[in-house]
Structure 1
């Protein structure tokens, strides 16, 4: 009996590779920054289990998020010289080892060193995801799914982690991250062996003054949001809202973040982006101010939901402005560095302000000021911008 030969159309092979690569990008881009997405729960656990003060917690997050940002610098050299699939696999192993070791240490300094080590692997993996997504036929779809993946994992984490912490302590977070990465590790084979050479130099159409203001707007935006989001669980605790209610509220807030990102994508260019930015920033600033004092359950819920919704609604508009300023994409690597720096600096500044003042008022007022400054900078950079 003749054996039937099944042929695979080349077009189908390309489609399959596309979706496997898309899956790898979304999964790894969700796992690597998950500590930020679950920062309120982790920060509260560091305070209760390890007895860390706000400044120490802020420093810990600064080291981890800063290392993810610093990983961008050597990537300018190795990104076009190594096999991305192998580099992703090694980065994933570093992430797994760092988290497993973090789960068994009991010393603050050692934990900080391990989080730096882990974050270098996470940052390298994130850079591979960004570079691969930028070269897909529909990069906007990749980044849209990227955000949705991150927010979905964050919502699950904020719901599950407080319960795991009650039984297993802080180690539950790090072990869970190691397991997730181990399960996802086979997807590293979906990354390409190399990426096409592209120049990162400034292009003639780049207005350096407006580009600087755009990057500063992103920097201020991320300092404010990371400072508030890291300690929002502590704000809730100081207002005598129990941990379970807080976890549920923040999980719903993350769902609101998904809606915010989806809303920005659906609206697109149908409305004035400047008007959308003004509305978004105004609501975000109001949400931060609602956290002042000792908010009751209703006020805290409204503030948390509005804060997360506007955070993810504004972000696509900010990044779209960066693309307008440099259509060649020459600013995207700088944007990644600025985002990582803002994420690292925000918790550190917030922690020291809380430590020195004894309450959260100065942190929240500072965050509100940075939000308004970010709005002013992005509006100035948008003046006379192309559509």
Structure 2
């Protein structure tokens, strides 16, 4: 037995026994995925919601921006709240609270259309949805095949996004923005049926995880925190790219039709990342593919920074879209492998949202300084490179603490 394994065994004997939740049953996984994608549906449908608010209610650009921020801000607050209580409360009861809050807030949003009231109801709706999303992610963190389960979640999110892209314009044409809010209400009502299938309590009370040989290892608290920092760094890349890739294409002289077609087709390749991530994790674990994926993302952003032409635009978009969900799946899996309690996994939506708020603003400063879109893409490359450095350190620490965890799938 190696020194690190002996150390892990000694730590394991000192840990209190905890009652494991039924996290790996198909019903529990399906329930966690359902409340996750319903809770996150407002983010996936944001472009259509913003359009409906402007067209139906006549709000200006600044007002719809504030309303979009209200939902996102509510979800950020919910992520913090959920992380504080997820290891101490009955998760089914917490899910019920989130569903009821979101349901009532969306109903109120359909009845009160003055800006101030709608702003506050959207903050509350964001809190309800954010509780569901963070809780669902936290429950998936307690499973043993995290790459597979998070791949299913990401596939579901992309599918729901496609459904929203198709249905929300139809709903808003018939019922205005109320049609979208009613759709959210219906989705949250369906979530009630998923609640009884959720595990009631945390798999582990703290950052404790189990190795392949059955030993329980207490993970140093700084490792999951570093993983959260890496998530934020990576989402600097996502925020920089999505906020300005269309404008960068226009600046390079590409036609609107070419840009739209490339971005639309590119999103289909995100699904490829889901399947490849699951297959590869079974072959090589999660840590090494994650590091390769981040370096690939750095390369994609650097390629776009060097100069955009039609070929570069297509290749850059393809690389970005494949690596986006690929990296997301492994990030979720990595933080789950070092913390089965779900406490830190519940903070992932907050880490993502914070970075997606900061990145466009930082990119805007670069453009205001006349540094061009190449600088924006380099900002994105720096985000992925920073995440790579952090995960490389985490991987090295896990190799010393518990080698089984470093290459877990």
TM-score, normalization by structure 2: 0.70
User: Does structure 1 residue 267 correspond to structure 2 residue 316?
Assistant: no
Report the alpha carbon displacement of residue 312 of structure 1 after superposing the two structures with TM: 0.8
- Identify if the C-alpha distance between structure 1 residues 382 and 21 changes in structure 2 by more than 3 Å, giving closer, same or farther: closer
Cα–Cα, structure 1 residues 167 and 50, in superposed 2: closer, same or farther, change >3 Å?
farther
Looking at structure 2, the residues matched to 167 and 240 of structure 1 have their Cα atoms a distance apart, in angstroms, of: 32
Once the two structures are superposed, the pairs formed by residues 1-387 of structure 1 within 5 Å of their partners are 18-42=25-49, 50-53=59-62, 57=65, 60-75=67-82, 78-79=85-86, 83-103=90-110, 106-135=113-142, 141-161=148-168, 170-192=177-199, 194-195=200-201, 198-200=204-206, 205-207=218-220, 210-229=223-242, 241=256, 246=260, 252-268=265-281, 270-271=283-284, 276-288=289-301, 302-323=315-336, 326=338, 329=340, 332-351=342-361, 353-354=363-364, 357=367, 361=373, 363-383=376-396, 385=399, 386=403, 387=407
Q: CA deviation at 1:224?
A: 2.7
Q: Tell me by how many angstroms 1:188 deviates.
A: 2.8
| Rounded Cα–Cα distance in structure 2 between residues aligned with 1:170 and 1:302 | 37
Alpha-carbon offset, residue 72 of structure 1: 3.8
Residue 304 of structure 1: how far off its partner (Å): 3.8
Any stretches of 5+ residues in structure 2 without a counterpart?
1-21, 210-216
Q: Is the 8 A contact 2:48 2:165 kept in 1?
A: yes
Report the Cα distance in structure 1 between the residues aligned to 2:47 and 2:244, rounded to whole angstroms: 6
Report the more deviating stretch, 286-295 or 370-379: 286-295
Q: CA 1:117–1:169 in structure 2 vs 1: closer, same or farther (change >3 Å)?
A: same
CA shift digits 1:75-94 (9 cap, x unpaired) = 35654665544443342232
Deviation at 1:264, TM superposition (A): 1.1
CA distance in 2, matches of 1:242, 1:96: 39
Aligned residue pairs, count = 364
Deviation at 1:141, TM superposition (A): 4.5
Per the TM alignment, residue 186 of structure 1 is displaced from its structure 2 partner at its CA by 3.0
1:129 Cα deviation after fit: 2.4
Q: Give 1:121 shift.
A: 0.9
Deviations 1:115-168 (A, max 9, x none): 220121112223432344445576654433222211211222234445655666
Give 5+ residue unaligned stretches, structure 1. 1-14
- Structure 2 residue matching 1:199: 3-state secondary structure: coil
SS at the partner of 2:193? helix
CA distance 1:273–1:138, change in 2 (3 Å): closer
**Secondary structure of 1:373 counterpart:** helix
Q: How far apart are 1:310 and its partner, in Å? A: 0.6
Contact 1:152–1:254, Cα closer than 8 Å, also in 2: no
What value does the CA root-mean-square deviation take over the aligned residues?
4.2
The 10-residue stretch of structure 1 (173-182 or 115-124) with the greater mean CA deviation from structure 2: 173-182
Change in 2 beyond 3 A, CA 1:207/1:84: closer
TM-score by length of 1: 0.74
Tell me if the contact between 1:218 and 1:338 (Cα under 8 Å) persists in the aligned partners: yes
CA distance in 2, matches of 1:46, 1:293: 38
Bigger shift: 114-123 or 302-311? 302-311
Q: 1:347 to 1:186 in 2, by over 3 A?
A: same
